[in-house]
Structure 1
Amino acid sequence: MKKLLPLLLLVLILGSCSEYQKVLKNQDVKAKYEMAEKFYDEGDFKRANRLLEQIASKYIGKPQGERVMFFFANSYYQIGQYNDAGYQFERFVKAYPRSEKMQEASFLGAKSYSYLSRKYSLDQTDTDKALLKIQNFINTYPDSEYLPEANEIAASLTRKKEKKALEIAKQFTKLGEFYDLEYSISAIKALENFMLDNPGTIYKEEALYYKTLAAYNLAINSHPNKKEERLKNANEAYGKLIKTFPETEFAKKANNMKEKIDKELQNYSK
């Protein structure tokens, strides 16, 4: 009996595959719909999707159209084809604005685009698009059951954009240390804008440190007639860092800069 079970299972699988291929190739829309629904309910979204892809357009304007369109969009989502899922959910929302599935479709559509967001070091066009979609959902459905997850997605996407902006400013800071003073000036401006644009950022401590570093590099390497003012600016940047984050992880490096700043300023106090 134990030897027969695997054989019986294989027969059932082959029979199922054979029936699927048969329905997939014929022109019977109803048969495709019924089999697609069966696969969908069983969680076999890949095969359901292939069938729905063939018949979705046939059900536009028909009573089953809403059901088919939602299944079609969600099957893309379930198999990880998020670009297609986002597009199909948007089509569903436009076609069935009074649907009971409206809120779920809006959320899953926005969430689909969030999966297309790339690593922070790469182009963030898809992140911008996803953030706009998820924010529109939050604004439209402030009492939604999906709101906590939507807020988490929005926060994650926002952090990615913040990280991108911070890394650009940090690159200016590093270039200012070894090359042109203009890079340090650009770094300071970029970091100031970063903190203005993102007042609640989790990267504030890092931004304040790199502003201090950029201001220090600018001051130390400046022409004598600009050096005193820039040293004072660097001192002010250091003070802001220590006041905001008294136990900053950058304390050792910042304090070393502070000592050199104070030493340089002594030349002007004389």
Structure 2
Amino acid sequence: MKNYIVLLLLTVTLISCGPYQKALKSTDNELKLTVIDQLLEKEKYSKAVNLFDQIIPAYRGTEKAESLSIKYAKALYETGDFPNSSYQFERFVQSHPLSEDKEFAAYMAAKSHYEMSTLYSKSQLNTDRALAKLQDYINSYPDGVYTDEANILVSELRSKLDRKAYEIAKNYHHRSRFIAAIKSFENFIIQHPGSEYMDDAQYYLLESEYLYAIKSRDELVAGRMDIAIKYYNTFVSRFPTSEYRDDAEEIMEKINKYKSENNI
């Protein structure tokens, strides 16, 4: 038992006196640089960041500043600290405009913002920022190394915004707030022309207008039915094989029946 305790204490002592702990407590910045490189090779990014935080100010403005800055930003990204990695990558671009790593830093700054984008059901402020940053990269480097990947990320983020806008409009529809639903679906169709939810939006616009019409005062029904017919014609011409086609035809039959019974 006594031997076990001695061995345990020796192990703890060796660990506490390891290269990382020694560098962390040292005032020797060159030692810290050496240990940082060792940690990065072993993908121990959090420990590397702790050492970076100690030495970055000391090397600012020196010939080592460029290489340290890009390594620091990469390490922050790998730890999942995307707000700080985006800041450091953007700062790198501004501070080292002639660096061969400038394009990489510009892309990773945008990708850091992409990583902060939340679920479609939550606020999309970070999604909007990420789209702007990615588009800036694409505009600056149309034939860049990361342009294809950036375009994929842009498509993913736009799809998220599409769904956010579509779900808002659909929620109005399901809560029978037809005026808000109609306006939201109309805006969606204009603002999201390539969306995968386009036929859904076009159908629910038709249904919202129809339901709005039949709940209106008698003198307003006919005019709103006519608007619904226009939406029907647009829907069937654009999406003739849509899964909503039968539902749209059923609505049209009800409209025709109403107009026939009321001699409209």
The answer to whether residue 64 in structure 2 is matched with residue 70 in structure 1 is: no
Give me the whole-angstrom Cα distance separating, in 2, the residues matched to 1:30 and 1:18: 16
1:267 CA drift (Å): 2.6
Deviates more, 1:248-257 or 1:94-103: 248-257
1:43-82 equivalent positions in 2, closer than 5 A: 43-82=43-82
String of CA shifts for 1:103-147, please: whole Å, max 9, x gaps: 001101100110111111111111111111111111111110100
1:148-187 equivalent positions in 2, closer than 5 A: 148-176=148-176, 183-187=177-181
Give the alignment's Cα RMSD to 1 decimal.
2.1
Give the TM-score taking structure 2 as reference length: 0.91
Aligned-partner residue type, residue 30 of structure 1: E
1:268 CA drift (Å): 3.5
Of 204, 212, 217 in structure 2, the residue corresponding to residue 218 of structure 1 is 212
Of 197, 201, 204 in structure 2, the residue corresponding to residue 207 of structure 1 is 201
Give the match for residue 245 of structure 2: 251
Give the match for residue 116 of structure 1: 116
* Structure 1: segments with no counterpart, 5+ residues: 1-10, 177-182
Q: Is the 8 Å Cα contact of residues 216 and 257 (structure 1) preserved in structure 2?
A: yes
Give me the whole-angstrom Cα distance separating, in 2, the residues matched to 1:17 and 1:155: 49
Give the TM-score taking structure 1 as reference length: 0.89
Give the match for residue 8 of structure 1: none
Give me the whole-angstrom Cα distance separating, in 2, the residues matched to 1:16 and 1:156: 45
1:194 CA drift (Å): 1.3
1:16 CA drift (Å): 8.9
Aligned-partner residue type, residue 65 of structure 2: G
Give me the whole-angstrom Cα distance separating, in 1, the residues matched to 2:133 and 2:68: 23
Structure 1 SS opposite 2:18: helix
Give the match for residue 258 of structure 2: 264
Give me the whole-angstrom Cα distance separating, in 1, the residues matched to 2:124 and 2:17: 42
How many aligned residue pairs are there?
A: 256
Q: Is the 8 Å Cα contact of residues 228 and 268 (structure 1) preserved in structure 2?
A: no
Give me the whole-angstrom Cα distance separating, in 2, the residues matched to 1:141 and 1:260: 55
* Structure 2: segments with no counterpart, 5+ residues: 1-10
Aligned-partner residue type, residue 93 of structure 2: V
Aligned-partner residue type, residue 77 of structure 2: Y
The answer to whether residue 245 in structure 2 is matched with residue 239 in structure 1 is: no
String of CA shifts for 1:30-53, please: whole Å, max 9, x gaps: 111111022213322222221112
Give me the whole-angstrom Cα distance separating, in 1, the residues matched to 2:37 and 2:67: 10
Structure 1 SS opposite 2:175: helix
Deviates more, 1:62-71 or 1:37-46: 37-46
1:258 CA drift (Å): 1.9
Identity %: 35
1:180-195 equivalent positions in 2, closer than 5 A: 183-195=177-189
The 3 A distance-change label for structure 1 pair 140 and 116 is: same
Give the match for residue 91 of structure 1: 91
String of CA shifts for 1:50-103, please: whole Å, max 9, x gaps: 111211111110011000000000001112211111111111111111110000
Q: Is the 8 Å Cα contact of residues 166 and 188 (structure 2) preserved in structure 1?
A: yes
Q: Is the 8 Å Cα contact of residues 134 and 154 (structure 2) preserved in structure 1?
A: yes
